[in-house]
Amino acid sequence: PPRPLKIVAFLGKDPIYSNTVQQVVSQEPDLAGVRSVASTSKKHLLEIIPDAEVFLTFHIPDGAIDAAVKLRWLAFGQVGVERGLTPQVKKTVKERGIIVTNAGEVTTPMVAEHALALMLALIRRLKTCLEYQRRKVWGFGDLRDRVDILAGKTVAILGLGRIGYQVAHLCRTFGMRVVALDREPRDSDFVDKIYRPNQLHQLLGKADFVVLCLPLTDATRNIMNREAFSAMKDGSYLVNVARGGLVDEGALLEALDGGRLAGAGLDVVAEEPLPEGSPLWEQEGVIITHHLAGLGPKYFERLGELMVENIRRYLAGEELVNVVDVVKGY
């Protein structure tokens, strides 16, 4: 008979999210021994987690890891795990040998397409078009010499993981030249040249678009600072579908006001929700999309399918998919 396995899912106040993942897992006959329990409150979570081997969550309430005395696998329901992997959590999972995974490819197609949507919106002046529409003004005369196309432009992708690689694929489809920044040299059918971190400014100077797909770590925080923006081409664009902490927003505003950047597409910002008083709201050339890039149809069904794959691997003693290097933070 299948070995018993208890999973605790803590995916927000609405139980439909955890229940959707549970339904996907429960439909697999070979996982009959798996018992998934959903929680929507910290109090309930702390009551049910002590005998759980697996904890699926978006964030970790205080005391949850210490209470989970039998925990062997911490599964994050998103890609970026920097908020969950606090110094204390890192210390605990390393000491206890707990496996950490993230959602990996669950969000890849949505985030990559969102990056392209922002690029197209910027270069085709869709924000201005919508403003003219709101005012019932026909803007042909103003816009006809200001729109452009992606084909023939150079895009620099910072971070060549799953999402960065998919962005590269889509950009190549649009006829763009693709260069990338990555710590590890690797072969790619869609990237013309890969630069190392110490070549960042050299890379930035070649790009019409810079797309951020990096994890947020101590090494990447504020990687787009005043010096980085100064290295970019005049009239270039920034797109951030990763983490707001990658960008020094004061330096970004300076680059926009000074004309170094023609615009920016920001799905993420340093402080979320973006404060009402932030000058980014009113900045011409900036498009803000409210951290929606990773969302799309059947997100939790896809997360459930990933969990099924990893549960099978876990029970078989095999390496899991999307294992996070706790030291690196991704």
Residue numbers annotated as active site = 243, 272, 291
Report d(CA 136, CA 159) in Å as an integer.
41
CB atoms within 10 A of CB 152: 11
| Dist. CA 168–CA 316, nearest whole Å | 35
Cα–Cα separations (whole angstroms), residue 176 to 145, 172, 191, 233, 295 = 21, 5, 10, 16, 26
Is residue 59 within 8 A of residue 85, CB to CB? The reply is: no
> Which pairs with CB-CB distance under 8 Å and at least 24 residues apart come from 56-59?
56/7, 56/8, 56/9, 56/10, 56/11, 56/18, 56/21, 56/307, 57/9, 57/10, 57/11, 57/84, 58/10, 58/11, 58/12, 58/84, 59/83, 59/84
What is the residue whose two structure tokens read 């630069």? 195
Give the SS3 label for residue 139. Answer: coil
Q: Which two tokens stand for residue 87?
A: 């110094």
- Angle 113-231-150 from CA coordinates, rounded to 5°: 30
Q: Do 51 and 26 contact (CB within 8 A), yes or no?
A: no
- The continuous run of DSSP H or E covering 265 comes out as strand 261-266
Give the single-character DSSP code of 279: G
Torsion of CA 94, 100, 104, 106, to 10 degrees: -160
CA distance 260 to 239: 14
40, 69 in Cβ contact below 8 A?
no
